[in-house]
Amino acid sequence: MRKWVFLTVLAVSALLLSNCSGPRKLSASRVTYEKNIMAIVQTECSPCHLPEKGGKKKPYDNYSSLKTDIDEIIRRIELSPGDKGFMPMRRMTRLSDSTINLFRKWRTDGLPEK
Ligand code: HEC
């Protein structure tokens, strides 16, 4: 139950944050880049992976590089702080389970862009 509340909140904030035009159907059933993943990456992987914020690491400000690297991204966010390769680097805690699950579900759902 909490998961759906979380997904809905994320979906609404993703919609508010994106400057796309026109209403879009809110659906909690399918995880998409624009609806769920983009906002998480912009918060959690900032600034290192966001060139527009001065990040010098692999740019994750776009759909195609996230899609290409999804296996490595999930592998790294599943690690624990202190493990070699753990992301988000320098954080003391992992992303929440529900956030990690969103990445997993996005992959299971076939990595849809929208
Ligand atoms: C504080 C800066 C910082 C943050 C925040 C951060 N990263 Fe990184 N990331 C790095 C650095 C530095 C490297 C290169 C060193 C390495 O590969 O471990 C890297 C490398 C990576 C790589 C390997 C890229 C490659 O070249 O194959 C992945 C995948 C990755 N990060 C994912 C993420 C994800 C997903 C997030 C957000 C949830 C995140 N990172 C947040 C600094 C950061």
Cβ–Cβ < 8 Å for 54, 91: no
User: For the chain, how many residues are written?
Assistant: 114
Instruction: Give tens-digit pLDDT for 21-71.
Output: 445 555 558 999 999 999 999 999 999 999 999 999 999 999 999 999 999
Ligand 1 neighbourhood includes 79 CB (under 6 angstroms): no
pLDDT at position 20 is 52
Measured CA to CA, the distance from residue 41 to residue 34 in angstroms comes to: 11
- Ligand 1 centroid distance, CA of 89 (Å): 6
* Confidence label for 104 from pLDDT (cuts 50, 70 and 90): very high
Cβ–Cβ < 8 Å for 14, 36: yes
Mean pLDDT over 81-87 rounds to: 97
Tokens representing 90 are 């320098």
pLDDT at position 75 is 98
Query: Taking the CB of residue 80, how many other CB atoms lie within 10 A of it?
Result: 8
pLDDT at position 22 is 47
Tokens representing 27 are 């659906």
